[in-house]
Amino acid sequence: MKSVHFLVLLISLCFTSINAQKSTLSVSDDVLPKQNYEENITKEFINDVYIPKDLDEALEELRRLSESDGITKFKNAEEAVVAKKLHFGLGRWIMEKWNLYDGSRYSHYLRLKGLSYPDDMARFTIISLHRDLNGKNLEVDERIKEVRDQRTKEYKEKLAQKKIIKEIKKEDK
């Protein structure tokens, strides 16, 4: 009988602990991401990595961090090839180190320009560096508009493919 009481007590303690953790997590999930974002967009460094404040600083920082022979190869490659091949290397580095997922000065700058997806931000940065190294016009606003238009088109196509399961109409009173 003692073992049954002990088992019931142990199960009760486990459920109490789990419920306490759930309530703590739900508060953190609602509050912390926005709080972290608001803090991160003001920081010059996150995890000991310098965060550029705008595109000019981002390009300058990438040139500073890169070796000269790497820059030469990058510059001489085709823009589309560079953007595609470096997405999971340099692009991933940009997304992680410059905190594009959780917010940073640079991601906030790009959001204000109209880019909201970290993948788009990284690709935009890579192409901008390539164009800058080759002395081409960066066409910032035009390229951002293209990305936004493409995202809007994809969203509309997904919406068009969805099926309505059941339509409920409100009665007028």
7 belongs to a structural domain: no
18 belongs to a structural domain: no
Query: Please, are residues 54 and 106 in contact by the beta-carbon 8 Å criterion?
Result: yes
5 belongs to a structural domain: no
**Residues constituting the chain:** 173
Give the model's pLDDT for residue 173.
64
Is-above-0.85 flag for pTM? no
Q: Which residue range(s) make up the domain with 97?
A: 36-155
Q: What percent of the chain shows pLDDT beyond 70?
A: 80
pLDDT band with cut points at 50, 70 and 90 for residue 28: very low
143 belongs to a structural domain: yes
pLDDT at 137 over 70: yes
Number of domains in the chain: 1
23 belongs to a structural domain: no
Burial group, residue 82, by CB count within 10 angstroms (0-12, 13-18, 19+): buried
112 belongs to a structural domain: yes
CA 162 to chain centre: 26
Q: What is the mean pLDDT of the chain?
A: 86
In order, the DSSP letters of 55-124 are HHHHHHHHHHHS-HHHHHHHHHS-HHHHHHHTIIIIIHHHHHHTTTTT--HHHHHHHHHT---HHHHHHH
98 belongs to a structural domain: yes
9 belongs to a structural domain: no
> What single-letter amino acid sits at 57?
E
Give the model's pLDDT for residue 12.
54
pLDDT at 20 over 50: no
For 134, which DSSP code?
A: T
